[in-house]
Structure 1
């Protein structure tokens, strides 16, 4: 009797939050799952998920992990690019070097992973690369300009790449969560050159961000959408995840630009 091995999924940034939930949901869906993080020694083993150390900012680390997965499992069907960091502060308060660090994780880390798995997926004639973007990929957010810029970059890169590789059986899909109840806000990179002129507004933003995150969706909500993107027979180009993301996506499309701009400022407790 002919048997087929389970599909293999690799999830970056899997130590907590969305990434951790995604590993569990994909495992429940029948995937062999490899979760990665900079330091997996702190992750309790279990649930049938294999964990590997990975630094997405290192070419050598990325190449080594992908090679290890292929050597051990013989295939890689789904890559979930979830690893990312936030940035808290006015754009003027971030040095260029610090901004480059945020881009190195959120954009170039994703590109490194994608380039490492594409040759294998093309050769097999199948595969899905699922990039965890954000509502910040299509809407602005004051005091998060650098983070928002990275997500806009992920959106453009993903959609363009999908056109290039689709004829080779590979799809590049985007999952766009809204606020998620994770420690994301507490782990953001803080601006390295803070300016007094922005201090008050930055403090207001931090309050808004804290309230928004605590009222956000459970990571399992996003994980379920990631699993759908990994398994849908006819995948969508993008998947909004959670009620806020869906609502904001609709408002962005139907509201006049001036009205949407006003709503962003009101949400962030800013003046006219």
Structure 2
């Protein structure tokens, strides 16, 4: 039976993904820094394995991975790096500590999880890592500067590891959705102009379905939503200045 370990599992995309994979017969492991939502979801899923975790804490990450994988013969079929944070606003008006927190959770946390997972992935046939990327990793998005930077890092790491870990038979890919209606986005005090222009049309369940598709795929990047797929593929073919022009228009006040 396949198993999946999900960071950022207590709500939003992580929780929707856990529900979908559990319903389809997978053994699900849940990790999150927020204990109440984590325990509630674990109970909903019939007592699924769960542990409170700050993904920035490398030692705690190693302990959590070892504990979950010990229940599955030291194997891990799928790691879903979903933990992440977002702060919208003008770059200079956001505290430096908040910019640093975004980079620590979205980048360092993902590095910690992926590095600790390697021996268990290596021991598993058809193993895979799916990273929570973003449309913001295609071109830098105003009012989401540090978040966008973090997703560029996710994109680069994904591409590099998919090539590097091919020798172990481990696939690495990411999801690249535009804005998704999750608590992280809904609770923002600042609405970036690009959000108003593009709209927030995706639900957490839409991304969970994309995770399921990616789990059966060798794709490196999975753009999500018809509109962003068009932008993504156009961006692969058009000059960089075209992408900049589009982003400038989308981000106008």
TM-score between the two structures when normalised by the length of structure 2 = 0.89
> Which among 225, 243, 247 is matched to residue 264 of structure 1?
247
Unaligned runs of 5+ in 1: 1-5, 191-202
Q: Which residue of structure 2 aligns with residue 221 of structure 1? A: 206
Report the equivalent of 2:230.
Answer: 247
Structure 1 position 46 matched with structure 2 position 44: yes
| CA distance in 1 between partners of 2:98 and 2:115 (Å) | 24
Q: 1:265 to 1:211 in 2, by over 3 A?
A: closer
Task: Quote the residue 1:62 is aligned against.
Answer: 61
2:32 to 30, 33, 37: 37
Residues 143-196 of structure 1: per-residue CA shift (max 9 Å, x gap): 1110000000010011101111111111111111111111222445x8xxxxxx
Structure whose alpha-carbon radius of gyration is higher: 1
8 Å contact kept, 1:57–1:108: yes
Q: What is the count of residue pairs matched by the alignment?
A: 248
Runs of 4+ in 1 over 6 A off after TM superposition: none
Shifted more, 29-38 versus 87-96: the winner is 87-96
- Map 1:192-231 onto structure 2 (within 5 A): 205-206=191-192, 209=195, 215-231=200-216
> Structure 1 residues 13 and 31, CA, compared in 2 at 3 Å: closer, same or farther?
same
Q: Quote the residue 2:22 is aligned against.
A: 27
Unaligned runs of at least 5 residues, structure 2: none
Give the match for residue 83 of structure 1: 83
The Cα of 1:207 is off from its aligned counterpart by: 5.9
The residue that corresponds to 1:161 in the other structure is 161
Whole-angstrom CA distance in 2 between matches of 1:260 and 1:173: 23
Map of 1:18 onto structure 2: 13
Q: Could you tell me how far 1:62 is from its partner in structure 2?
A: 0.6
* Pairing 1:9–2:8 present: no
Matched residue SS, 1:36: strand
Q: Say if 1:18 and 1:220, in contact at 8 Å, map to a contact too.
A: yes
Deviation at 1:42, TM superposition (A): 3.0
Q: Which moved more, 1:57-66 or 1:35-44?
A: 35-44
Q: What is the aligned partner in structure 2 of residue 196 from structure 1?
A: none
1:105-125 residue CA offsets vs partner (Å, 9 max, x unmatched)? 000100000011101222345
Match of 1:199 in 2: none
SS of the equivalent of 1:87 reads coil
